[in-house]
Structure 1
Amino acid sequence: MEALERAIARPDPVPGVGANSPVSGLARRSVGFFDVLGQSVAAIAPSAAATTIPILAVATAGAGSVIAIAIAAVIALAVAASVSVFARRVAAAGGIYTFVSLGLGPRASLVAGAAMLVGYAFVAMSELFSAGHFLVIAFAPSGVPTVVGCLVLVAIGAAFIAVLLGGIRLSTRLTLLIEVATVTALLVVVVVLLTVVPIDPAAYVPRPDHPQGLVVAVVIAMTAFVGFESSASLGVEAKRPFATIPRVLTWTVLAAGALFVLVSIAEVAAFDLLGLDLAASGTPMDDIARGFGVGWAAVALDVLVAFSFFAAAVAATTAGVRILFSMAREGLLPVGLGRTSERTGVPVRAVALLVPVIVVVPVILRLADFDMISVMEIVLVASGTGFLLGYVLVCAAVPPFLRRIGEATLWPVVRAVAAAVVLAAGLVVFLTMTGDVVSVWSVVLFAGALVGAVVVLAVFRARAGAAPRAVRDVPLASDVLGGDARR
């Protein structure tokens, strides 16, 4: 025992272990399981998505909307499993951008990084706009002057910036608190509805003569899950990333999928009973509350949903900022974007680059008198397309990655390939339905943003010379016994 005690007190030096990580500066190993869970849950914004996505699903699949959401949950689980293949082995801040680089190389990762940046930026813009929309209608259902709506968005934007600059623990804990409150309130409403509203199974059977509508609805429903993978961007900051992040990815999709299905069943049944058209509703839970004579509940739900959208915007931006940070540390983008605050570990210059656009665009949309449904159909669909492209690439990256490290086995490879094929086919169907169920402007906006981002990144890569290598966290001297020279 004395020899063991001496070895612990004065361990032999461990060669090859340095004192700095390629991603040093972030608040390394500072957030626990619930912080990481807060990032994924907030990025999905389950209560906000559950009250809005069914509208688009019903508009395309009709009675098949609930089945479409269930299918989307299964696909999202397959994507989560593919992302977990990397998250169990690599701790990185770049998330899918870094994972694709490890599997498919720098060219594919450039496209994946551009797609995810477009996705995170657009979804954050849409969610800030929606937060302002729900906050306004909560207290002024008949509407307010455009100037007042813009001032509300400016105030939300200021709070948004303050939370992002406050550090990762502030943002993840605040967003988790918000989502727990909103999901709890929504579940109470749903349980009450399911106990008082008759459920007709025929109302959930897809039309056999309209299969393309079901396919498109599945892809639209997938947009309700986008952002769940954002917890992978906390690989550097999580205390036990290889255990925590894969669990969070799976649990988030399972819980969100169950919530979306329950809410969809309740909304379809309630609107059928009230004789209303769910596809034509801008705020379905408000219409249900007023239809049952409890208008006060609509106000409370609108406030909670507004907070949920706010939390989602914070989570999406947190992940987007870390992609920019990773690109800068690789030498792809200017080195300044990789600098962090000494006090909070926040990549402040990356925040300064991304956040102004995210805050200003919703104000411009409000000034132009865009309504929330229009924003959802254009901006949110465009962002969802970016995420889905990223998911296709990360699933496709699994087989070569596992083969390269000598760990390729049948089930993970088959699962990843199947998910990539299904997502790619769904995306093609989705984009070719433009002018019918998908706005042409959604596709134009996504294509323009993606091409622009790819071109900018390609120019920076050409200037950098050699293709950048993916940066990730590595063991430090302080992590291993005998590695810290100060011991």
Structure 2
Amino acid sequence: METNPLRANCLSFSELLGQAIALISPTMTAALIVPVMFSNTGDLSWLAYALGTVMLLFVALNLNQFARRSAGVGSMYAYTSRGLGLTAGGIAGWSLIWAYLGIAMAGMTGFAVFAGKLGEMAGLSLPPVVSFVTCAALAWYCAWKNVQLSAVLMLILEGVSMLLIVALCSIVLTQHHFAIETRQLNLSDTPLSSMGLGVVVAIFSLVGFECATAFGTEAKNPLKSIPRAVIWSLIVSGAFFVFVTYAMVDGFNGYTTTLDKVDAPLNVLAELAHVKFLQVPLSLGAMFTFFSLALSCINAGARVIFAMGRHGLFHAATAGSHSTNATPHVAVTVMAAIAFAVPTILALAHNAPLEIFNWVGTLAAFGFLVPYFLITIAAPVYLSRIGQLRNRDIGYCAAALILLLIPAVGSVYPLPPAPVAYFPYLFLAYLAVGTVWIVSFHRRVPAARARIREELASTHESYSLSATQAINEI
């Protein structure tokens, strides 16, 4: 269908990188997830993050088989459609929307957690719903107004927050005279099963690296900048996690309360390092980075909805872009409204923001695994179709699939306590509804398949086999 286009050629590599890192949200992991990691892997938490980063790099290599060859709106929805067909692509897009919504909700609840901590420091009590309204309204406005504004804002906010955390960790290591922590190098103290659980946490901390691919029509030099943003967002975030986790475990050594029992580890670490004055800027940085997380997810999810709306899978209004701002304003509004409504309802039912954060983050993780599996399978199929498949591409696919089984199994076994034990069934029900809808749509509107294939084929292809020939084989 014909719609106003999104603003083309406006996002640089650094802005795409900012989008991706904001969605991974390294500050979120340092502020709230490292204690969970420590509860599983103890002194070897840094190693779990290193292994998780390497594992997802294999997924990124498969994803970049598409990102280096074509650029368009819709992220892995369009890529999976090219490799495995329109039904599989629709399922990938449907699952990504779930994932981005869940992480956007985590951003809003994290914003409320740290707004509350700042309020406590000032002797004030701030209702979570007020924080939800503030975060949702500002994120909606930025996403509605200008994608470049959003990207620059996220790059600055997340960058400043990460620099503050690196500074704190550097102070800790300096005070410890940069002595090698032999406890953190002893592999014999952590059983393999615990390391497996740690890798699951690490992988879920790193999801979102793929979001740069959602901005294919808005990126400058997309066939180069997007693949670079995908890889470098993983490398930067993974290196940050390894360094910060090592320093935090070192800093908590000998403290009366173990790291896994602390709900604000950065603030406690600042106190232990005798730089308590950093607690306010660290909490402010965390609050702003959770805002960036919500904004990044609203931006990325809206573009998946926009792409699927163009193909008729959603209401035609979602395929519209603002006549002045050139943003997918309806899709942005849908994302922001749902991301605000769910945590608000849960908070009004007397659930604490931190508890809601854990719930929505866990639910979102399932939404990432499905498209990661699908894109990994789609890559060699697509490469074979265009006559570019190499043995090492098959190796990347096999390695990624094997490694993805770790978080897939680890997310459901051993069985977690209720209500988390029921989350996989909730996601499967959502996935089943989407699958039925997508299959029935293509049966009810057979002409849509040809129209979608034509649009997919119209995106830039850099190889000799024409896009039309390749897409027609779907």
Q: Establish whether TM, by shorter chain, passes 0.5.
A: yes
Shift in Å at residue 37 of structure 1? 1.6
Amino acid in the other structure paired with 2:59: V
Q: How far does residue 406 in structure 1 lie from its aligned partner after superposition?
A: 0.6
Match of 1:382 in 2: 363
- Correspondence 1:319 to 2:319: no
1:333 aligns with 2:314: yes
> Alpha carbons of 1:444 and 1:270: their partners in 2 closer, same or farther (altered >3 Å)?
farther
Determine whether 1:105 maps to 2:85. yes
Specify the SS of the correspondent of 1:432. Answer: coil
Deviates more, 1:324-333 or 1:209-218: 209-218
Offset of residue 83 of structure 1: 1.2
Counterpart mapping for 1:133-144 below 5 A? 133-141=113-121
Q: Tell me, yes or no, if structure 1 residue 282 matches structure 2 residue 263.
A: yes
Alpha-carbon distance in structure 2 between the residues aligned to 1:431 and 1:363: 27
Unaligned runs of 5+ in 1: 1-20, 477-487
Which residue of structure 1 lines up, in the alignment, with residue 326 of structure 2?
345
1:433 lines up with 2:414 in the alignment: yes
Q: Does 1:74 align with 2:54?
A: yes
The one of 126, 132, 148 equivalent to 1:169 is 148
Shift of 1:340: 0.5
* Equivalent position SS for 2:251: helix
CA shift for structure 1 position 248: 1.0
Match of residue 114, structure 1, among 87, 94, 100:
94
Distance in 2 between residues matched to 1:437 and 1:257, nearest whole Å: 31
2:149 counterpart of 1:151 = no
Aligned to 2:464: none
Equivalence for 2:31: 51
1:251 equivalenced with 2:209 (yes/no): no
Q: 1:465 Cα shift?
A: 3.3
Matched, 1:413 2:413: no
* 8 Å contact from structure 1 (residues 377, 438) kept in 2: no
Q: Which amino acid aligns with 2:235?
A: L
How big is each residue's C-alpha offset from its partner over 1:251-298, in whole Å with a ceiling of 9 and x where there is no partner? 111111110001100111111232321112111101112233433311
Larger radius of gyration: 1
Q: Distance in 2 between matches of 1:333 and 1:65?
A: 42
- 1:137 is aligned with what amino acid? K
In the TM superposition, residue 458 of structure 1 has moved relative to its aligned partner by 4.0
**Correspondences of 1:5-20 after superposition (within 5 Å):** none
Q: What does the per-residue CA deviation read over 1:43-84, in whole Å, with 9 as the maximum and x for residues that have no partner?
A: 111222233222221222233322111100101211221111
In the alignment of these two chains, the number of paired residues is 455
Q: How does 1:255-266 map to 2 (within 5 A)?
A: 255-266=236-247
Aligned 8 A contact 1:61 1:217 in 2? yes
In the other structure, the counterpart of 2:463 is none
2:7 pairs with one of 27, 36, 59: 27
Conserved? CA contact 2:109–2:357, under 8 Å? no
- Supply the AA of the counterpart residue of 2:117: I
Show CA shifts across 1:115-139 (max 9, x none).
2111100010111110121122023
Q: Secondary structure at the match of 2:206?
A: coil
Residue in 2 that maps onto 1:294: 275
- State the superposition RMSD in angstroms: 2.4
Matched, 1:187 2:166: yes
Q: Which AA in structure 2 matches 1:135?
A: A
Could you tell me which amino acid in structure 2 is paired with residue 361 of structure 1? V
Q: Secondary structure at the match of 1:343?
A: coil
Determine the C-alpha separation between the residues in 2 that align with 1:452 and 1:133.
33
TM-score (norm. length: structure 1): 0.87
CA contact (8 A) 1:51 1:263 kept: no
Identity of aligned residues (%): 27
Q: Deviation per CA, 1:62-118, whole angstroms, max 9, x where unpaired?
A: 333221111001012112211111001111211111111111112222221122111
Deviates more, 1:51-60 or 1:167-176: 51-60
Provide the rounded CA distance (Å) in 1 between the counterparts of 2:459 and 2:193.
50
Unaligned runs of 5+ in 2: 461-474
TM-score normalised per structure 2: 0.89
Change (3 A) 1:454 1:278: farther
- Residue type at the aligned position of 2:286: V
Q: Give the aligned residue type for 1:357.
A: I
Q: Secondary structure at the match of 1:275?
A: coil
In the TM superposition, residue 179 of structure 1 has moved relative to its aligned partner by: 1.4
Q: Distance in 2 between matches of 1:204 and 1:144?
A: 43
